[in-house]
Amino acid sequence: MNKKEMIKHLSEKLSITQSETKILLDSTFDTLAELLAKGNSFNALGFGTFSVTELEKRKGFNPLIKKWMMLPPKLKPKFKASETLKERVNKQ
Amino acid sequence: MKIEGDKIFIDEFCEEVSKKADTTDENSKKFIHTLFDFIGDSLIKEEKVPIYHFGIFKKKWTPEKKGINPQTKETITIPAHYKISLTPSSLLANEVNRKYRNLKPNVLDEILTLTGLKKLTPAETIVLERTDELKKEHGKAKKRALITVIAGGIILLALLALLILVPVYYVKEDNSNNVVNYVKKVNRMFGLNSISEKLRGGKSEEINKEKIDEFMANSKKDLSQDRKIIETYAVKQGDSIFSISNKYWGNQYLWPDLYILNKDGFADPDLIYPDDKIVIYEKLGDPEQFSEVQKSRIVQAYIGIYRIYRALGEEDVSEGKANNDGNKIQSGKKRIDDSRWTLYTAIRYDHELLKKYKDAIYPEDIDLLNKYIEKFGYDGKKDKSKN
């Protein structure tokens, strides 16, 4: 499924124009990305939680140069699905 | 580790979105609910729901497995299920990781990697940081070593230059610029006499007895050519090679001829013993009327004697007899004097001798003999009364 199909579906469901849907879709995920970049977390009820985790610096093996590397710490976006979503997906 | 950030709920989020999309809060709220519902529905039907520039929502099938409840320590079976996850797009990942964006992975030293993939203990992290410091210090030490080496090299060069320039200075003082003297000087400074002998040019060759033997054999062949033997004479007490020359040929200055005809190679010309057999050939010719061939032969004989005296003189450094003035001189020095006088005697037969046989005569002797010739003429008669 690509973006076009998604916009088409959403606009039909909400009975708004596709261009309006597109603007809303883009701004939703832009906002979400901005929130995460600031280190905030967002709880979309019934869907899941978006948050940021910090990975400590660690050792890792680089298979290309065949050497152990000291990897720097890292901030990573994380998504945890809510119980409702899990149930819905695992129903069948 | 979870980041300490603000928790944002749906209302606040909707306000932000409506600001961006320029619609009412109600509209955006409705839209967001529909959107997440729709993504959830899509996940039921499909494996992946990609969202451009944000990430991909995925479901992954996990088979049934056993697990332990960490609180009650009971083993439980976890039923097979779908796991739902978000794989962030690189754009999102970079945006979120802005704080650590500039850090890059470092290659670890061999020793430190022995611990493998284990999580680092605090002590190990300290070691890692310490190695970074050590590397910096190592670099500094390298620089220092390089500077020391360069400075040492410059000092060494300066010393070498001094060693070369000082002898040059002294040689210049002596007013003798030629290379041979310079080399002599340097060798005297460092005691390298064996090298100096090689470099002095010709000396070792002239002392070489085999060469003299060869030379003598050749001149013996030349001298004996076309000459008859008159008789054989046995040496008596008190005879000398001069007196025998005088007795048979009426001229003592022809003695080198007699000597070379009777000796094979290198021997002391001053020594003959009683009962030695001496073969007398007919006279080479009248010294007043020598032909060119005869001249060259007698001169050759003289040069042979000069070389022998010279070689004997170079070898002999023992103290000899007192000379006429009562001063003791080295017998070697006397031999060298003899060699010069022998050569001087030969000059009466060939005035151009010093030029013709330049290679067989020491340069110092050539200088000396030129002075003799200036003083006394070619036959020792000029201005003799004055001296």
Q: In the predicted model, is pLDDT for residue A78 greater than 60?
A: yes
Q: In the predicted model, is pLDDT for residue B339 greater than 50?
A: yes
Query: CB B86 to CB A78 under 8 A?
Result: yes
Query: CB B38 to CB A9 under 8 A?
Result: yes
Write the pLDDT tens digit of every residue in B97-109. Answer: 888 888 888 887 6
Q: Model ipTM? A: 0.91
Cβ neighbours of B210 (radius 10 Å): 9
Task: Find the radius of gyration of the CA atoms of chain B.
Answer: 56
Cα–Cα distance for residue pair A91/B310, rounded to 1 Å: 126
**A40, A45, A67 member nearest B5 (Cβ):** A40
Which amino acid would we find at residue B242? F
Query: CB A85 to CB B96 under 8 A?
Result: no
DSSP collapsed to 3 states, chain A: CCHHHHHHHHHHHHCCCHHHHHHHHHHHHHHHHHHHHCCCEEEECCCEEEEEEEECCEEEEECCCCEEEEECCEEEEEEEECHHHHHHHHCC
Cα–Cα distance for residue pair B282/B297, rounded to 1 Å: 15
Helix ranges restricted to H, B174-208? 179-190, 193-199, 203-207
Query: CB A24 to CB B38 under 8 A?
Result: no
Query: CB A89 to CB B53 under 8 A?
Result: no
Q: What is the mean pLDDT of chain B?
A: 76
Q: CB distance from A23 to chain B under 8 Å?
A: yes
Query: CB A72 to CB B34 under 8 A?
Result: no
Average pLDDT on A27-44 reads: 89
Query: CB A75 to CB B10 under 8 A?
Result: no
How far off is chain A from B98, nearest CA to CA, in Å? 8
Query: CB B103 to CB A72 under 8 A?
Result: yes
How far off is chain A from B77, nearest CA to CA, in Å? 17
Percent of chain B with pLDDT over 70: 74
pLDDT for res B12: 86
Write the pLDDT tens digit of every residue in B168-184. Answer: 666 555 554 566 666 66
Q: Which of B18, B20, B98 is the best residue to mutate to test the A interface, defined by the most A CB atoms within 10 Å of its own CB?
A: B20
Confidence of residue B159 (pLDDT cuts 50, 70, 90): very high
Q: In the predicted model, is pLDDT for residue A31 greater than 60?
A: yes
Name the residue in chain B with its Cα closest to that of A91. B44
pTM as predicted: 0.42
Cβ neighbours of A54 (radius 10 Å): 15
Q: In the predicted model, is pLDDT for residue B386 greater than 80?
A: no
Cα–Cα distance for residue pair A49/A45, rounded to 1 Å: 8
Average pLDDT on A25-52 reads: 89
Q: CB distance from A22 to chain B under 8 Å?
A: no
Q: In the predicted model, is pLDDT for residue A73 greater than 50?
A: yes
Cα–Cα distance for residue pair B327/B11, rounded to 1 Å: 133
Paired tokens of B367: 């200088």
How many angstroms separate the first and last alpha carbons of chain B? 121
Average pLDDT on A31-36 reads: 89
How far off is chain B from A61, nearest CA to CA, in Å? 8
Cα–Cα distance for residue pair B133/B236, rounded to 1 Å: 101
Q: CB distance from A66 to chain B under 8 Å?
A: no
Q: In the predicted model, is pLDDT for residue B380 greater than 70?
A: no
Point out which residues pair with B319 in neighbouring strands. B330
